[in-house]
Amino acid sequence: MSDAPAVEVRGLVKSYGQVEAVRGIDFEVRPGETFGFLGPNGAGKSTTIKILCTLVNPTAGAARVAGFDVVKKRDLVRQNIGLVFQDTTLDNYLTGEQNLRFHADLYGVPRTQVAPRLKQVLDMVDLWDRRGSVVGTYSGGMKRRLEIARGLLHAPRVLFLDEPTVGLDPQTRSGIWAYINDLKQREDITIFLTTHYMDEAENCDRIAIVDHGKIVVLDTPEALKASVGKDRVQITTADDQTAIAELKSLFGIDDAAVREHQVTFSVTDGEQFVPRLFAELTVPIRSVSVARPSLDDVFMSYTGKTIRDAEASAGDRGRAQMMAFRGGGRR
């Protein structure tokens, strides 16, 4: 049983009229894994999650979650998954505890287990003391934590987190990640999450980078970073254009370009390259920074753009998709 994939996706396609949100995706998530979908807004992450959670039917292809087909065994899939949506789905007029009890009854948590389970999940997210307060009085981070607790209440085998920390301040974000990592210690659970934060993707065992509805590359964060291989060097100079020209003529570096007001390029061994740079470049250098490859560089090397650029260009597609969602009716 533990060998069967927690999530299995084959040739998944979803189109909304003319718009193809997901264009043929294949992957497997192993039980116990934290698996991340990383990509700009409008890349098809949320659509994929909606299909896996039985909220949307695929146009083509198939998907299984916890061993059940998401179209044919909808109820069994729902029984086995926990869901934390991008936007909150709590009842603001009920207390935290009432929200969780509602969920427990709806998901058929055995009555004798409700109270201990409630305590367990509320303790985990540090909300036990606030369980009697009306959710409307909670902060954004507390609501998110309550939703994570709720998603876990019925002991799901797969937890889906759709942009779990979007719109939260950095402190709350890292707090939520601490809970998620803690969760993996305590519960036998597979986590599937989407994010467009690079630093968050680092928490995953494996990442699939998605762009334009397709998986561009899928591997562990370390392997992905190693595949880029090069360090990123950023310099500010008195004359960027001359610097770029000289980097090409003197060192044969042809990927140098101005990004975010700095000349950015990659070399195999950044720290040893810097002394040569000072010795040979004729343009005065004002500052230098060398960085090990980040997932940003990985994204860049596979898609040819930064994730922020990708979001800007995906904006229109995203909007078209939103229209299609609204037109598609209620959910």
Output 134 or 253, the one with its CB closest to other proteins.
Answer: 134
Output 102 or 273, the one with its CB closest to other proteins.
Answer: 102
Is residue 217 at the binding interface for other proteins, with CB under 8 A as the rule? no
Q: How far is the CB of 5 from other proteins (least distance, A)?
A: 6
Is residue 170 at the binding interface for other proteins, with CB under 8 A as the rule? no
- Which of 16, 38, 47, 78 lies at the binding interface for other proteins (CB under 8 A)? 78
Output 106 or 238, the one with its CB closest to other proteins.
Answer: 106
Binding to other proteins by CB under 8 A, coded x per residue (else -) over 105-144, reads: xxxx-------------------------x----------
Q: How far is the CB of 112 from other proteins (least distance, A)?
A: 14
- Which of 14, 103, 145, 232 lies at the binding interface for other proteins (CB under 8 A)? 103
- Pairwise CA distance, residues 52 & 9, whole Å: 9
Interface residues for other proteins in 3-22 (CB under 8 A)? Answer: 3-5, 8, 10
- Which of 75, 129, 222, 260 lies at the binding interface for other proteins (CB under 8 A)? 75
Using an 8 Å Cβ cutoff, are 247 and 240 in contact? no
Is residue 101 at the binding interface for other proteins, with CB under 8 A as the rule? yes
Output 99 or 266, the one with its CB closest to other proteins.
Answer: 99
**Under the rule (CB under 8 A), what is the footprint of other proteins?**
1, 3-5, 8, 10, 28, 53-55, 64, 67-68, 73, 75-76, 78-79, 83, 85, 87-94, 98, 101-103, 105-108, 134, 329-331
